[in-house]
Amino acid sequence: MSRERHIIILALLALLPITALAESPTAAALSYTCAGCHGTDGSSVGPSSPSIAGMDPEIFIDAMQDYKVDKRNATIMNRIAKAYSDEQIKGMAWYFAKQKLELLPQSTDTQLVELGTTLHDKYCEKCHEEGGRSGDTGTLAGQWMPYLDYAMEDFIAGRRDYPRKMKRKVDAAIKAEGEQAMPALIHYYGSQHNSAQKEASHE
Amino acid sequence: MSKINRRDFIRVTAGAGLVGGTLGFPGLLMAASPKVVVIGGGVGGCTAAKYLRKLDPKIEVTLIETKKAYTSCFMSNEVLSGDRTLESLTFDYEGLKRHGVNIVIDRVTAIDLAMKSVATESGESFNYDACVVSPGVDFKWDAIEGYDAEVAETIPHAWFAGPQTMTLRKQIESMPEGGKVIIVAPPNPYKCPPGPYERAAQIAMYCKHHKPRAKILILDPKDRFSKQGLFRQGWSKLYGFGTDDSMIEWVGAAGGGTVEELDPSTRTLQAEVEEFQADVINIIPPQKAGKVAFASDLVEGDWCPVDKLTFESTRHPNVFVLGDASSAAKMPKSAYAANSQAKVAAAAIVARFNGQDPGEPTFVNTCYSILGEAHGISVAAVYSLDREANTIMPIKGSGGLSPMDASEEQRKREVSYAHSWFKNVIDDMMG
């Protein structure tokens, strides 16, 4: 094939989405509409809706798919997730994965953070590596603390399915430290915004 | 397949796009730094300015606004309950300046459509390649006899957050124990459809603690209103709605709720069937598009018709009308809607400057109402465009209201998410 013909064909292919796939907005356009609650490009300024910038795309997709079928406890996300096709969810997942996570400091209790550090090292660190930085088990480091609190309440009350092994670890942490355990862990993760920010985004 | 390099590819595709673009919009040849003038520093205008710069930093964006700082109307009902100060709703334009937006504090008189320039009261003029108009709403003062802009200084509308919000707050604070407040709700369409009903709840929240025998009456020219079932449920739970002792009462059109006249000296309202007297009256007048839209021939009826693919005026090319002033059915007139529309318009303007067709638009609206310290409700919708009908349609099977049977924990979380919504919308538009 000549270079010219090659270029022309590619150019025509590039135009195709305008006509053939006119139904779907771009991943960026879809992702922009999330900013009113999750912040510009997914970095929430709080106080409770979670940041989704730099999120692992698979975690994003799983969350949206669970919301879509009312499998995960929600206030509003189940209603919103139902609007999107699998392809659109995938597109948004990659859009947010590529955004830099910008975190703001939160006020934490020093004693709780100290206890949380111990608990994290003992029960959580194997999966939530490096202080719970963004990875294939979600973003805990620097995440908004009320959101972490809601998530843990939902796990413990059986409103959200635990990922593999997590229930055993949570039960053990609570057995060891009682009612202090969850606040301690939440304060620990809430205090980790600096370490989380050092992390490079998914490129 | 890899004989072609990326630069060739972009050049060719951009060229191909340019053919389509210029055929669609003849005569539009862009300078190296195209100019956009944005009229109005509210949600629509600010979001458009920020996203234009974000999408293409070559664009020179000038935003013209009358006030030095923005005070959000959303969340201003919380000032009435005492949960929030007016200062906490007020934000300067420094954030937009950091995004390279040129901020001009002045009043636009009109747009010269032929010259593609915007004139201001102080005598300046600004040329544009595209003009974004987001003036919000204005009031129809002739709807209720005896009520006008001057009377509103003492019998406030408080439908723009500012001094009148404080007037209303002070009047509620200083009314007698067992005093009566009347809220006159507006007819559709108006900005913030659940606003009057949330306002009743926020006033009740204050009265429950400080004036437990007070009454709040809503006189409404409508028979139905936004989130009605959820409001009635919340009012019942928190303020005894539906009982003889209810703090909140609602009279709709069928019950004679349409107000025809006000006597400001006695604070008496003449409604369709009977008269109502109150210690504090809050009249939210019927609404129409902001003044500059009328002055610039952008209006049909009360609102500005637009091509919903781009939010370009259907009356005049290269002028894009956003937010409350636009006729954007089936989206409500809300902050989130304006924010969402602004991004669609910004992307469409950038596409046009680059000779490309606008992409498929997508819209979201999310709107929270706070009825009590731990009682929030919401409505959400995701929309796509039905091009043939030029109507923004909610995507079937998605969106809708908070469930009626939500737990107390869910209602409490929605308050917290409402506050997150507030902070993030503000940050997204001007941070």
pTM of the model: 0.91
| Overall number of domains in chain A | 2
Q: A92 and A116 share a domain?
A: no
A86 plus A158 within the same structural domain: no
Q: How far apart are alpha carbons B382 and A82 in whole angstroms? A: 9
A118 and A41 in a common domain = no
Same domain flag for A134 and A86: no
* Domain assignment of residue A77, given as a range: 25-97
Helical ranges in chain A per DSSP H: 3-20, 27-32, 35-38, 57-68, 77-81, 86-97, 110-119, 129-132, 145-156, 166-177, 181-190, 193-198
User: Is the domain of A93 the same as that of A149?
Assistant: no
Mean pLDDT along residues B344-348 = 98
Residues in chain A whose beta carbon is closer than 8 A to a beta carbon of chain B? 3, 6-8, 10-12, 14-15, 18, 22-26, 29-30, 32-40, 44-49, 75-76, 79-84, 144, 146, 150, 153
Same domain, A79 and A163: no
Of A34, A76, A79, the CB nearest to B417: A76
Q: What is the pLDDT of residue B22?
A: 40
Do A142 and A189 meet the contact criterion of CB atoms below 8 Å apart?
A: yes
Domain-located, residue A13: no
B300 — phi, psi (to 5°)?
-125, 120
Q: Which of A97, A124, A159 is the last residue of a domain?
A: A97
B417 touches chain A (CB under 8 A): yes
Q: Is the residue at A2 inside a domain?
A: no
Would you say residue A43 lies in a domain?
Answer: yes
Tell me what the pLDDT averaged over chain A comes to: 89
Examine residue A37 and state whether it is found in any structural domain, yes or no: yes
- A117 and A93 part of one domain: no
- Chain B 327-346, residues with CB within 8 Å of chain A CB atoms: 335-336, 339-340, 343-344
- B7 has a chain A CB within 8 A of its CB: no
Tell me which of A37, A71, A97 is where a domain ends. A97
Q: Give me the CATH number covering residue A168.
A: 1.10.760.10
Specify whether A197 is located in the same domain as A116.
Answer: yes
CA angle in degrees (0–180, nearest 5) for B218-B42-B120: 120
- Looking at residue B26, what is its pLDDT? 40
- Give the domain-ending residue among A67, A97, A127: A97
**B15-50 residue pLDDT tens:** 333 433 344 444 455 668 999 999 999 999 999 999
**Residue A79 within any structural domain of the chain:** yes
The mean pLDDT value of chain B amounts to 94
**Which residue type does A85 have?**
S
Is A137 in the same domain as A198? yes
Q: What is the pLDDT of residue B27?
A: 41
Q: Are residues A120 and A179 in the same domain?
A: yes
Task: Please name the residue of chain A whose CA is at the shortest distance from the CA of residue B3.
Answer: A3
- The candidate with the shortest Cα–Cα distance to B39, out of B71, B67, B62, B73, is B62
Residue A115 lies in a domain: yes
As a whole number, mean pLDDT of residues A36-65 equals 97
A37 and A71 share one domain: yes
Kindly state whether residues A66 and A127 are assigned to the same domain: no
Closest CA in chain A for residue B411: A75
H-run or E-run covering B12: helix B6-24
A19 located within any domain: no
Give the three-class secondary structure for B56. coil
CA pair distance B203, B367, nearest whole angstrom: 19
Region A39-66 average pLDDT: 97
Q: What is the token pair recorded at A54?
A: 């730099």
Tell me what the mean pLDDT of segment A20-35 comes to.
86
**Which of B364, B386, B393, B410 to probe the A interface (max A CBs under 10 A)?**
B364
Facing residues of B61 across strands?
Answer: B36
d(CA A185, CA A131): 10
Phi, psi angles (nearest 5°) of residue B384: -125, 170
pLDDT digits (tens, 9 = 90+) for B158-193: 999 999 999 999 999 999 999 999 999 999 999 999
pLDDT, tens only, A171-190: 999 999 999 999 999 999 99
Residue A147 lies in a domain: yes
Quick one: pLDDT at residue A135? 83
With CB atoms and an 8 Å threshold, state whether A44 touches B378.
Answer: no
